[in-house]
């Protein structure tokens, strides 16, 4: 598995990573990997989100909701 070394990490940044790792019960290395995955890999690109939303909209076979129904759903919470 590839590795890399970070150099010249500002002390305040290191302390933030250390605190976050402790909070999430991870090693510092695990916390850095989690941050990298969240920043670079796990969030889909906006184009992919829109593509999926369009697919879902086309697949929906029910009647469109009215504005009043949407407002009521928002105010009452989801089922």
Residue bearing the bigger pLDDT, 61 or 12: 12
The position carrying tokens 């009521």 is: 72
Q: How many CA atoms are closer than 13 Å to the CA of 69, on its beta-carbon side?
A: 4
pTM over 0.75: no
Confidence at 7, pLDDT banded by 50, 70, 90: very high
String of DSSP letters for 10-70: -HHHHHHHHHHHHHTT--HHHHHHHHHIIIIISSPPHHHHHHHHHHHHHH--SPPPPHHHH
């Amino acid at each position: 598995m590839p590795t890399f070394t970070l150099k010249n990490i500002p002390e305040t940044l290191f302390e933030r990573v250390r605190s976050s790792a402790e909070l999430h019960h991870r090693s510092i290395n695990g916390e850095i990997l989690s941050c990298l995955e969240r920043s670079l890999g796990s969030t889909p690109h906006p184009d992919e989100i829109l593509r999926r939303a369009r697919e879902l909209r086309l697949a929906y076979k029910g009647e469109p909701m009215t504005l009043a129904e949407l407002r009521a759903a928002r105010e009452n919470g989801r089922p």
